[in-house]
Amino acid sequence: MAKHLTKKQKDAIKHQLAYVVGFGVSCFWKTRCSSSDIFTLDELTLDHLIPKSKDGSNNLENLRLACVHCNQSRGNSLFPPPQKYRSSSLNDSTK
């Protein structure tokens, strides 16, 4: 695949990934994500498991659907985004 994906290519990949995991998708990093929302494809980004800056590819095997916050907070790290705690989870644990 080309080094940079066009919007049309990104949209096609999002649809392929959504088909694999099912429509009405949550963020791939949902156990660490501060949002428990179900997202539309337009609200999700393509996150590279191995970042392109670390020689990761645009192949489907290296791409996951992630919310903007998780994708940006992860940056070019090989690790998951930092753990985010939902305020409702904190309130529930103190009861």
Confidence of residue 56 (pLDDT cuts 50, 70, 90): very high
Which position has the higher pLDDT, 64 or 20?
Answer: 64
Which position has the higher pLDDT, 85 or 43?
Answer: 43
What pLDDT does 81 receive?
87
Mean pLDDT over 5-33 rounds to 81
Domain ranges of the chain: 7-93
Confidence of residue 83 (pLDDT cuts 50, 70, 90): confident
Confidence of residue 91 (pLDDT cuts 50, 70, 90): very low
What pLDDT does 38 receive?
83
Asked whether residue 90 carries a pLDDT value surpassing 60, the answer given is no
What pLDDT does 39 receive?
85
Q: Which CATH class is domain 7-93?
A: mainly alpha
Cβ atoms of 70 and 81 within 8 Å: the answer is: yes
Mean pLDDT over 21-29 rounds to 75
